[in-house]
Amino acid sequence: MDHIDQYSDLQSLKAHTPGPAVTPDQASHAELNSLAARIAQHYRTDFITPHLLTGYLRLVEFTVLALLGSVFLVFYVELSTRLLWSYVTVILLGSALGVIAINLAGAYRLTFLRRSVLAHWRVGAAWMAVVFGMTAALFFLYDDNDHSRVFLAGWFLSGFAALSVIRLVLCSFIRKWARDGRMERRAVIVGGGKNAEDLIRGLEAQSDSDIRICGIFDDRNDRRSPPVVAGYPKLGTIPELVAFSRMTRIDMLIVTLPLSAEQRLLTLLKKLWVLPVDIRLSAHATELHFRPRSYSFIGEIPMIDVLDRPLADWDWIAKRVFDVVVAALAILVLSPVLLITALAVKLDTPGPVIFRQKRHGFNNQTIEVFKFRSLRHEFSDPEARRVVTRNDRRVTRVGAFIRKTSIDELPQLFNVLRGELSLVGPRPHALHAQSSQNETFTLIVDGYFGRHKVKPGITGWAQIKGWRGEIDQPDKLKRRFEHDLYYIENWSLRLDLYILLMTPISMLRKTDGAY
């Protein structure tokens, strides 16, 4: 874990004093002190969670075992054997059982993976038990000489060798990732003082803890909340924590306030819920005791789950794979439409074919979104300071059609491939988006930035429910916001597929708000 003595500028921490209070939506713009900014820069890189790492390892080891069995089948047994499907079944079933046996042996735990290959006897024993079990099963199901002993022995030895090499290489990578701070779950402590110190001591006492504490944030002054707790620096106030989390790749916020401070907890959570992180309430020092099922645990430290990230680990991967595959196919299928639209825009009025606009992306990061240009070039409005209204003279002839049919949004498929957008999600709004009454969206909706806890999308739940187009009344934005939150809280691949299928139907059914 990184202690304060790893940072040279301790004086900047001591000199830092909390700034004036700001609203939750302004918090992402709070300025960090020099120490917090340096630490935030250090944690900008992505991290690898143990859950995701072991998931990948299971997939890799299953694939390697299946490939090795297939090699022996093709080059020794030969595909002409009358027991081909029996061998295929043995290979697939044996590879799956091998992974299951290794998991039951506890060999996918991070503490086990950190050891050298000499400590991986459990892996060999688990794999040996599977192969011997398969051999015994074949003996009872078939004649003793039907299946090749060389195949089974060669598969076992090559499998054990491959598993050992994989884990030896992975062990070196884990040590490197741990040194770089990319392996553990990154956590920020919210609230200082004695409770925070007890929590930190409890986490440090666990040899297998995968938590890396990145710092402490607290609104209280140094008299009530010391600038250094258990060797970790207090980096700023809660608004600065929001800004810090926007700049870094943080996995978890651990709140150490007592449950008795109900009003303070509610105020705090109202500011923090907009962030795409897990929020846990430490039950380490609380005098209240709940049933064991009420807690989650970090090692032996009990936590109360307050909020979970909408998309984490395998959910995120599944959605990303879905986005890339469908976006690539859509570009291929819609390429004639893309080319014809590009030509029409070019011939209609002078100016570039593609209009680029900066918008809010995931976690409030700024992204540049592509659209077919629908306004006259001399009236382009990259910052969306002026809302497009009905019969707006800035809209070109081609622009009116492609806006009404949403064809102008199709270049955003390339934003999806670049990883800036998803196919489905809350629609990205311009950085300074305003309603027709010149009110900024952040003033209309409290907690507006909560819609940025997932990647924005080309289409979304709000769009297929009719909440697209001009925001000429505050209630329209509020309804759109409510639908965005519903999508975030109820995400599934099935819901994404449903929204994609319903998008063209909803555009044909209701287009009066798009112009």
pLDDT at 467: 76
Residue 511 has pLDDT above 70, yes or no: no
The tens digit of pLDDT for each residue in 265-279 reads: 888 888 888 888 888
pLDDT at 3: 44
Q: Residue 501 — very low, low, confident or very high, per pLDDT cuts 50/70/90?
A: very high
Domains of the chain listed by start with CATH number: 4-46+184-307 (3.40.50.720), 50-180 (no CATH), 314-509 (no CATH)
The tens digit of pLDDT for each residue in 220-260 reads: 887 777 888 888 888 888 888 888 988 888 888 998 877 66
CA torsion angle 487 493 499 500 (round to 10): 140
DSSP single-letter state for residue 222: T
The answer to whether the beta carbons of residues 431 and 385 sit under 8 Å apart is no
The answer to whether the beta carbons of residues 46 and 182 sit under 8 Å apart is yes
SS3 439: coil
Lowest mean pLDDT among 49-53, 316-320, 351-355, 414-418: 49-53
Q: Residue 12 — very low, low, confident or very high, per pLDDT cuts 50/70/90?
A: very low
The answer to whether the beta carbons of residues 370 and 411 sit under 8 Å apart is yes
Quote the crossing angle between the two packed helices 149-180 and 84-104, to the nearest 10°: 40
Mean pLDDT (the chain, rounded): 80
Count of all residues that appear for the chain in the document? 515
Using alpha carbons, list the distances in angstroms from residue 233 to 12, 188, 392: 11, 11, 54
CA torsion angle 378 384 385 389 (round to 10): 80
pLDDT at 24: 43
Residue 480 has pLDDT above 60, yes or no: yes
The tens digit of pLDDT for each residue in 165-223 reads: 998 888 888 878 777 667 778 889 988 888 888 888 888 887 667 788 888 998 888 77
Q: Are strands 211-217 and 185-190 parallel, antiparallel or unpaired?
A: parallel
**Element holding 217 (H helix, E strand):** strand 211-217
pLDDT at 509: 67
DSSP single-letter state for residue 75: I
Half-sphere exposure of 194 (CA within 13 A, CB side): 3
**What value does the mean pLDDT take over residues 150-175?**
89
Q: Which residues contact 504 (CB under 8 A, 6 or more apart)?
A: none
Quote the crossing angle between the two packed helices 149-180 and 121-141, to the nearest 10°: 150
pLDDT at 51: 76
Identify the CA nearest to 349 among candidates 407, 398, 282, 286: 398
Q: Which residues contact 196 (CB under 8 A, 6 or more apart)?
A: 189, 216, 218, 229, 230, 256
Q: Which residues pair with 440 in a beta bridge?
A: 434
Using alpha carbons, list the distances in angstroms from residue 343 to 158, 217, 349, 407, 408: 58, 54, 11, 13, 13
